[in-house]
Amino acid sequence: MATINRVIKRHLLVGAAALSMMAGSAAFAAQATPTAAGGITCVTIFSVKPDRVEDFMTVMRANIAHSRAENGNLGFNVYQQTQDKAVTVYVVETWADTAAQKVHAKQPTLIALHKAFADDLVTHPQSSVVQPVSP
């Protein structure tokens, strides 16, 4: 856990902006505002059922590839941690602005990922819009 936390903190400290996989909802999008670095920052945490990891990651990999190619995407990083039979996936997305994120929210690969939630996840994903911390 400490390793993944260091990786996430490093991305945030260098001004990376991330946007949640659930950011397509109106309520979440209303919270997403550009940071001083010019992006929107959010971290999403997925708890994946151990017997569904391969299925979930297949859908996630398609979403990663598509998301990285979208206009307005400044970065899309996914980290996986396996501990005590639980599998946790961390997503750190970087979008230039809410307009880019709203286009992303309508993409077929993200919609497919949302459909995988019921079968593949232990619980609903946790998403947080965050701001970079200055040293």
Q: Which of 26, 51, 48 is nearest to 105 (CA)?
A: 26
Calculate the CA 2 to chain-centre distance. 19
**Is 96 contained in some domain?**
yes
Q: Could you tell me the pTM of the whole model?
A: 0.71
Q: Residue 49: which CATH number?
A: 3.30.70.100
Give the pLDDT confidence of 14-58 residue by residue, as tens digits. 222 233 333 333 334 444 555 545 688 788 999 999 999 999 999
**Is 135 contained in some domain?**
no
Q: CB atoms < 10 A from the CB of 41, how many?
A: 26
Q: How many domains in the chain?
A: 1
Distance, CA of 92 to CA of 6 (rounded, Å): 13
> Which residues lie across from 83 on neighbouring strands?
86
Domain that holds residue 25: 2-129
Give me the percent of the chain exceeding a pLDDT of 70.
71
**Is 117 contained in some domain?**
yes
User: In which element (H, E) is residue 38 found?
Assistant: none
